[in-house]
Structure 1
Amino acid sequence: MRTGLVPTLLLCAALTACTTTVRSTAVPTAELKRGTPPTTVQLGRNPLLGDVVVDGEGYTLYRYDNDTANPSVAVCTGECATIWRPVLVSDEIAYRNLDPEFLDTLVRPDGGTQVTVGGWPAYRFADDRVPGQVSGQALEETWFALAPNGTKAGGGKRTG
């Protein structure tokens, strides 16, 4: 880590309202087609899965096993993207209490700039009706809540 970054991250962890941004490495797009740019992505805690990534409203974010992390590729498009809404940004990722080394973006096939965590494209599940809900966990054995490093939260176990 760079000198000065550790104290800054510790301060951010201590201050729950601390938000930081990281510059997108993807080419910005003029118009985002699906999803809603989040106010932030942040660390959340689920009693069954442990640490998870949530959006600024507290909704759980997911990864899709049919996508790839290295290189980052999103294959959930069309009808899939209406149910599993890509987490999009227009320029920078605003984040709170997450390691920026795991955050980046990719340009989707539809032209949007999608947040990635540990290389995995991030999605919000349309059937999660309240913040913290994880109804998409292990759905179709391919959708999993995102852990802060991009792995499957809770090791991919089912919650229901």
Structure 2
Amino acid sequence: MIVKIKEWLFKRVALKMIKKHGSKQVETLAAIDKPMDKWKVSFITTAGVHLKEDEPFDVDSGDWGVRFIPSHSDPKNLEITHTHYDTSSADKDVNCVFPISSLNHLAEKKRIGKLAPTFYGMMGYIPRVDKLLNVSIPIILENLKKEKVDVVLLSPG
């Protein structure tokens, strides 16, 4: 019963936050004027991916935290903490939601310029949209700018 009440409350808070913050505009996306083989690429997922050594996401509380994942990480060192989608395929091969092996392969074959040092894992269930907009996203944007990333690829959970 407590879980149902908690979920109901989170849904109400999420709807309120979306109504309050959901209409905010983000910067216009820019066209890339570099060829692909010059791109510096990063990746963001809300599939709940993180390093095994990192603190797991607190799914029940709607964790808005960001996990920094080195782009050269071995997929065997990654895990998924998420309960709001069927993770069975991703648990077998994390690349289906976080294509770290494919991106490293593309960089090795010079199809893309290189990978940014950092990829980002988040959990998709974030009812506190204000925390997402005011805490999580600024952390990621600051690091993307610092690493001079040209292209960011996104994957939902």
TM-score normalised over the length of structure 2: 0.24
Greater helix share, 1 or 2?
A: 2
| Higher relative contact order, structure no. (Cα contacts within 8 Å, ≥ 6 residues apart) | 2
TM-score normalised over the length of structure 1: 0.24
Which of the pair has more CA radius of gyration? 2
